[in-house]
Chains A and B, each alone.
Chain A
C-alpha cells in the first residue's frame, strides 16, 4: 500500500487559495489519487480523484506531476466552512478494490 505524507496543519485566510501537497513516492501504476474532506463527527466526503495531470471539478482542482509521486489539492477562495481535515489516499484503483490506509491528514483552519 502506498504511504502518503501530508502537512499536519495549515492556516489560511478567507478568500485565499489553499494548496495542500501530498507525497506518495511508492504509488503503484494502477493507483488513483483521491482526496477526502472530513468535518468533526462526520464521515469523510469525497472531493476529487485523479490519475495524472490535472483534474478540476466544481469544488477543487487536483494537480499531479508526470512522475505521480506527489499531488496537490487546490481549493479556490476558501471560506470558513472549508475548515476541516483533508486526507490524501492512494490505492483505490480501477476495476477492483484495494484497502486503503488513512494518513494523519491535514487540518485546515480558515481564519476570518
Chain B
C-alpha cells in the first residue's frame, strides 16, 4: 500500500517551453504533498509544500511563478516548470503523507522525474 505515482519519469524539452509533472497517490488520500529537487550527487532539496485546495507554500529561493503547483484533489498534485532553462535540468521528486486518524505518517515518495532542458 501507500503508492505514489509520478509521471512522466523522464522528459526532455526545449528551452523556453513548459513542462508539467504529475504526482498521484494511488491508494490513499493526501491533503499535503511535497516537491523536491535533487541535483547529481546531492541530497533532496525541498521546493514547496502543496496543500489541497489552497496555495502552495514555497521555500526560500524558489520562484513561485516559475514552479507552479496545483493540488486540485486529495490524490493529485502537479508541478509545472514554466519557461524552462537548462539550469532547471534536475531530478524532481514528490512525496505525500496519508491521511490517518492515528499512528505515525511516514512520507511516501514518487519515483522521480528526470527533466532535461536543451
Contacts and interface: CB of A to CB of B under 8 A. Distances in A.
Interface string A5-47: 0000000000000000000000000001010100001111110
Interface string B83-101: 0000000010111010000
B67 interface: no
Contacts of B93: 43-44
- What does DSSP make chain A's interface, helix, strand, loop or mixed? loop
B43 A97 contact: no
Contacts of A105: 43
A42 B106 contact: no
A103 interface: yes
Contact of A94 (B2, B103, B107, B112): B103
Interface string B26-37: 000000101010
Interface stretch (B14-22, B44-52, B70-78): B44-52
Given A92-B97, A94-B105, A100-B107, 7 more contacts: A34-B106, A42-B112, A43-B6, A43-B109, A49-B106, A93-B105, A99-B34
Interface of A: 32, 34, 36, 41-46, 49, 51, 87, 89, 92-97, 99-105
Interface of B: 2, 4, 6, 32, 34, 36, 43-46, 49, 91, 93-95, 97, 102-112, 114
